[in-house]
Chains A and B, each alone.
Chain A
Amino acid sequence: MLERGKISALQMAFMMNPTILATGLLLVPAITAKTAKQDLWLSPIWASFIGFMIVFVAYRLHKLYPKETMFEYSEQILGKIPGKMVGAIFVFYYFHVTGIIVREYGEFISGTFLHQTPMVVVFSTMIIVSAMAVYGGLEVIGRCSEMIVPVLLVLYLVIFVMLLKDLDTKNFFPMLENGLGPSLKGSVVLQSWFSEFILVSFFFPYLRDHDKGMKWGMISVFSVMFYMVLTNVMALLLFGKLTASLTYPVMVAARYISIAEFLAHLESIVIALWVAGTFIKITVFYYVLVLGIAQWLKLSDFRSIVLPIGFLLVLFGVWSAPNLQVLSHFLSTSAPFYLLSIQAGIPVILLIIAWIKKKRQQMKGKLIG
């Protein structure tokens, strides 16, 4: 096997949290607020269903092919050529998506505080650090997230607590003004984030405790949902209707913290913490991409392609969008369908075909027997 390391299900859960949340926390409140208005905090709850479903699908597939990732079992399910095609779709898809993530990261850093630093520098410094972790393999990534993520999750709660005195619960109302419609519509964009949970299917084969994989995957979806709801509640109660018109509500919220005049302007610290989360996100995507390519091309070791792919990712970051407006327009319009069809559609189809195949084999077995 390409990856010899093993991680625990808990580590996987920790890895998945920032993998979904890191970019989500920045953009989600503003994007959902545009459609869901004051019901924006409900949207993550609806969207999380797709997360639960995907973890379930991934786990079922894993049960059928316990030692393989999607790149490998798609060939078994669909046959050699179509399987390779699905593999190719995923490889290019992850190239594109990782590029977008890198770009989101760069846009945020450039837009908020490194205005003049060339974005390539911002990209490549991050890619280098990520490459170090990817080089170390899954174990290193797992351990890093085990160290970093709990701290991040707790500190995020601290931000919320620090803002408590500025929150205004009146902003919740009127609840469900136009029924469930707006919040459901708002959840469409969020679903693309939750569909990223398909990444767990690449980690299931490397779990030390296989049987806990499903459980921790679900817990992870739940915690992501919890944090998204929390974020949206925070943005809603702090900014009310203003939420939709801010680019990065959470960032502004962090800027709004002021305790005893001294603990003020924590946005730089918040950015730094967010960078740690994004690091995990980029690393996880980067790793899956590298692992996927290695499995797809049947390489003997994935380490040799880490750096070349890193360079490509920097380029994809530059290419993925001409500016922020195009990027966020893409994210809030066509991206959900694009992401959903690949991250949710393909696995579901794979699972159905695998089931049918299995049924047929059983039938055959019975006939022969």
Chain B
Amino acid sequence: MELLSRHLVENEAFLKSTFIDCPDVIFRSFLIGKETKALLIYTEGLANIEEIDKNVLSPLMQQETEGIPDIQAVLEQKLSVSKVKPVTDTKQTVQEISSGNPVMLIDQQLPGITIGLAKWEKRAIEEPMAESVVRGPREGFTETISVNISLLRRKIKCPNLKMKSLVVGRYSQTQIVYMYIEGIVDQHLLDEVHNRLNRIDIDGVLESGYIEEFIEDYPYSPFPQILNTERPDVAASGLLEGRVVILVDGTPIVLIAPISLYSLFQASEDYYQRFMIGTLIRWLRYILLLIALVLPSTYVAILTYHQEMLPTTLLLSIAKSREQIPFPALIEAVIMEITFEAIREAGIRLPKQVGSAVSIVGALVIGQAAVSSGLVSAPMVMVVAITGVTSFAIPRYNASTAIRMLRFPMMAAAGTLGLLGIMLGILAIIVHLNTIRSFGVPYLSPMAPMKGAEMKDVLIRAPWWSLKKRPRLTGYSNTNRQPEGQKPNPLKGTE
């Protein structure tokens, strides 16, 4: 680690050579008082120039006193900026400049001062796009980590909300912060998160997905083992359950770990609605999940292996509609599923104006033309449409992608072994899910291994007053969420 020199000239030379060909880094030399040389370095567009002019440059330059000003005096008397920090080594200086904080160096004085006047164009806090709710807070995380931290701090105002910061990415120098609530989080989990984050050595981190792939337990699993969200309330509830929230600068998506499979099928709104509705919607989601996974394959299996399973009338009408179809059922299903995925993907990627055109074409191609031209049977279109809709009912986008992906091997299995193939596929998925863990937490807990008390937040959405325990993730610290006996009762408090 190289320390800053006492001589401004040396420092300046060093920094200039570091930021050579970086015209956006501005070196502003000025004098404090009459003769003390000082240098202000900032990155254009990342620093609040007005504030610098008003609160840094003008008070210092108008300084009357003679002699070399003491750095302490400068800080205390002249700099009317709230966030200042000393820097001593060159590496940190460079980093501060790159991340937008102006650095002021004074000749013959150490340390240098970073002035927290970084400012750049930010997106305002908006409603999250991917996770909208009917009832619940409308704010979402933004690309700026400080804003995101503040959003979480607004939810949990206790000083026990702690955070640790680190910088990842040799070139991107991305700030990563992990947050937790001291006293709830398990220490082993915290150590594990810390170790895994510190192991990362990569050139750049542009999104939290990079981090996710570096720290998850089973990289070869289609299932996400870390939850991601852009909703502060989801992150806050994770914190309250003893999970760790990882924020990455530059992306509105934060990571929550550890999770179980069931976290992927819970929406924040489940907890804001009445618990009965929440429960029913959860059940609906589980059913839809199963449908999304096995409907096309079951259709293929029944149609090519188990024709006797269908009620006669249904089979006869399907037979009628399939009479002219040139493809075997399996190929038909695969073609239609791929078409559907193509339309879905195109709908996301294309500019909004073109997107609607795609959906019109898609509806016509899938719906009308394919059927009337006799290439695809009408029941198959229905099956694909239902599957598509159900897969969107899964609240987490990456979970629904996993399910949609697994649909294809399931179809292949159904096409070769019928329902037996589907069953074996499901068994393989169950075995796999039981094998993987998320930061040491079995992926299917609390169902397997069974934990009775926690199941009421998975099988149903129990009312808040009955959710007395936190999920026991890896450890046992502070499992009580709330005291007993808070079930509302009109007679309460009257006696």
The answer to whether any beta carbons of A and B sit under 8 Å apart in the complex is yes
Which residues of chain A have a CB within 8 Å of any CB of chain B? 8, 10-11, 109, 113-114, 117, 121-122, 125-126, 128-129, 132-133, 135-136, 139-140, 142-144, 146-148, 261-262, 264-269, 271-273, 275-276, 279
Q: Please state if A146 and B423 are interface contacts (CB–CB under 8 Å).
A: no
Least CB distance, B415 to chain A, in whole angstroms: 12
Tell me, yes or no, whether B444 is within 8 Å of chain A by CB.
yes
- A-B contacts, 10 of them at CB < 8 A, read A113-B305, A114-B417, A132-B431, A143-B448, A143-B449, A144-B431, A147-B448, A148-B427, A265-B309, A272-B420
Cβ of B422 < 8 Å from any Cβ of A?
yes
| Contact A129-B424, Cβ < 8 Å, known A144-B434, A148-B430, A268-B306 | yes
Contact of B423 among A133, A139, A264, A276 (CB under 8 A): A276
Q: When the two chains form their complex, are residues B306 and A143 in contact, meaning their CB atoms are under 8 A apart?
A: no
The 5 closest A-B pairs by CB, nearest first: A143-B448, A272-B423, A143-B434, A136-B435, A146-B448
In the assembled complex, the Cα of A279 lies from the Cα of B423 at a distance in Å of 10
Alpha-carbon distance between A279 and B427 when the two chains are bound, in angstroms: 8
Residues of A within 8 A of B309 (CB): 265-269
* CB-based contact A8/B449 at 8 Å: yes
Closest Cβ neighbor of A255 among chain B residues: B308
The distance in angstroms between the C-alpha atoms of A142 and B302, with both chains bound, is 32
Q: Mark B414-436, 1 if CB is under 8 A from A, else 0.
A: 00011111111011101110110
Contacts of A267 in B (CB 8 A): 309
Known contacts A8-B449, A132-B432, A265-B309; A114 and B418 CB within 8 A of each other: yes
- In the bound assembly, the distance between CA atoms of A109 and B448 in angstroms comes to 29
CB of B447 closer than 8 Å to a CB of A: yes
Question: CA separation between A267 and B419, bound complex, in Å?
Answer: 11
Instruction: Return chain B residues, CB-CB under 8 Å to A121.
Output: 417
B1 interface hit (Cβ, 8 Å) = no
The answer to whether A144 and B423 touch across the interface, beta carbons within 8 angstroms, is no
| Contact in complex: A147, B430 (CB < 8 Å) | yes
B417 engages A125 (CB within 8 Å): yes
B102 at interface, CB cutoff 8 A: no
Q: Which of B302, B424, B430, B435 sits near A125, CB closer than 8 Å?
A: B424
- B73 is an interface residue with CB less than 8 A from chain A: no
CA of A114 to CA of B414 in the docked complex: distance in angstroms? 12
Which chain B residues have a beta carbon within 8 Å of chain A's beta carbons? 302, 305-306, 308-309, 311, 417-424, 426-428, 430-432, 434-435, 442, 444, 447-450
CB distance from B422 to the nearest CB of A (A): 7
- List the B side residues contacting A125 at CB < 8 Å: 417, 420-421, 424
Q: Which residues of B contact A271 (CB under 8 A)?
A: 419-420
Residues of A within 8 A of B426 (CB): 276
A203 to chain B, nearest CB (A): 15
Please indicate the chain B residues that have their CB under 8 angstroms from the CB of A276 in the complex: 423, 426-427
Q: With A143-B442, A144-B434, A148-B430 as given contacts, are A126 and B424 in contact (CB-CB < 8 Å)?
A: yes
Hey, which chain B residues are within 8 Å of A126, CB to CB?
A: 424
User: Within the complex, what minimum Cβ distance (angstroms) separates A339 from chain B?
Assistant: 27
Does A109 lie within 8 Å of B423, measured CB to CB? no
- Whether B431 and A133, one on each chain, are in contact in the complex, defined by CB atoms closer than 8 angstroms, is yes
Residues of A within 8 A of B442 (CB): 143
* Alpha-carbon gap, A142 to B450, bound state (A): 11
Which residues on the B side are within 8 Å of A261 (C-beta)?
311
When C-beta atoms are compared, the residue in chain B nearest to A146 turns out to be B448
With A125-B417, A125-B424, A275-B423: A265-B431 Cβ-Cβ less than 8 Å? no
**By the criterion CB–CB under 8 Å, are B449 and A268 in contact?**
no
CB-contact partner of B311 in A122, A139, A264, under 8 A: A264
User: Quick check: A146 and B419 within 8 Å, CB to CB?
Assistant: no
Instruction: Return the chain A residue nearest B443 by Cβ.
Output: A143
Main SS at interface, chain A: helix
Q: How far is the CA of A137 from the CA of B417 in the complex (A)?
A: 27
- In the bound complex, residues from chain A placing their C-beta under 8 Å from that of B444 are 143, 147
Q: Which of A140, A143, A279 counts the most B-chain CB atoms under 10 A from its CB?
A: A143
A contact residues around B424 at 8 Å (CB): 125-126, 129, 275, 279
**Chain A contacts for B447, CB-based, 8 A:** 146-147
Residues of B within 8 A of A148 (CB): 427, 430
B434/A114 in contact, CB under 8 A: no
Given contacts A126-B424, A265-B309, 20 further A-B contacts (CB under 8 A): A8-B449, A10-B450, A114-B305, A125-B417, A129-B424, A140-B434, A143-B449, A144-B427, A144-B430, A144-B434, A147-B434, A264-B311, A266-B309, A268-B308, A268-B418, A269-B419, A271-B419, A272-B420, A272-B423, A276-B427
CB of A184 to closest CB in B, whole Å: 37
Check B420–A275 contact: CB distance below 8 A: yes
**Chain A positions within 8 Å of B308 at CB level:** 265, 268
A136/B434 in contact, CB under 8 A: yes
Chain B nearest Cβ from A107, distance in angstroms: 14
Q: Least Cβ distance of B38 to chain A in Å?
A: 63
Q: How far is the CA of A251 from the CA of B423 in the complex (A)?
A: 17
In whole angstroms, how far apart are the Cα atoms of A144 and B309 in the complex?
Answer: 28
Q: Would you call A146 and B422 a contact (CB within 8 A)?
A: no
Task: Give every chain B residue within 8 A of A122 (Cβ-Cβ).
Answer: 417, 420
Q: Within the complex, what minimum Cβ distance (angstroms) separates A223 from chain B?
A: 17
Least distance between A318 CB and chain B CB atoms (Å)? 18
Most buried by A among B309, B421, B424, B431: B431
- Taking CB atoms, residues of chain A closer than 8 Å to B435 are 132, 135-136, 140
Complex Cα gap A126–B420 (Å): 10
A272 to B422, CA, bound (A): 8
Chain A residues within an 8 Å CB radius of B427:
129, 144, 148, 275-276, 279
Contacts of A269 in B (CB 8 A): 309, 419
A206 to chain B, nearest CB (A): 14
Q: Which of A11, A109, A140, A262 contacts B431 (CB 8 A)?
A: A140
Q: How far is the CA of A267 from the CA of B310 in the complex (A)?
A: 11
Closest to A126 in B: B424
Q: How far is the CA of A11 from the CA of B450 in the complex (A)?
A: 9
Distance, CA A11 to CA B444, complexed state (A): 14
How far does the alpha carbon of A121 sit from the alpha carbon of B426 in the complex, in Å? Answer: 18
In the complex, the answer to whether B417 meets A11 with C-beta atoms within 8 Å is no
With a cutoff of 8 Å between Cβ atoms, the chain A residues found around residue B423 in the complex are: 272-273, 275-276
With A113-B418, A147-B430, A272-B420 as contacts: A262 and B450 at CB distance below 8 Å = no
CA distance in complex: A203, B422 (Å): 30
- The chain A residue with its CB closest to the CB of B432 is A132
Complex Cα distance, B2 from A340, in Å, reads: 79
Residues of B contacting A129 in the complex (Cβ-Cβ under 8 angstroms): 424, 427-428, 431
Nearest chain B CB to A152 CB, angstrom units: 12
Contact A136 B448 (CB under 8 A): no
A139 to B449, CA, bound (A): 9
A146 touches B306 (CB 8 A): no
Of all chain A residues, the one with the shortest Cβ separation from B413 is: A125
Q: How far is the CA of A271 from the CA of B419 in the complex (A)?
A: 8
Q: Considering the chains assembled together, what is the distance between the CA atoms of A126 and B424 in angstroms?
A: 7
Please measure, in the bound complex, the distance between the C-alpha atom of A261 and the C-alpha atom of B312, giving whole angstroms: 9
Q: Chain A contacts of B432 at CB under 8 A?
A: 132
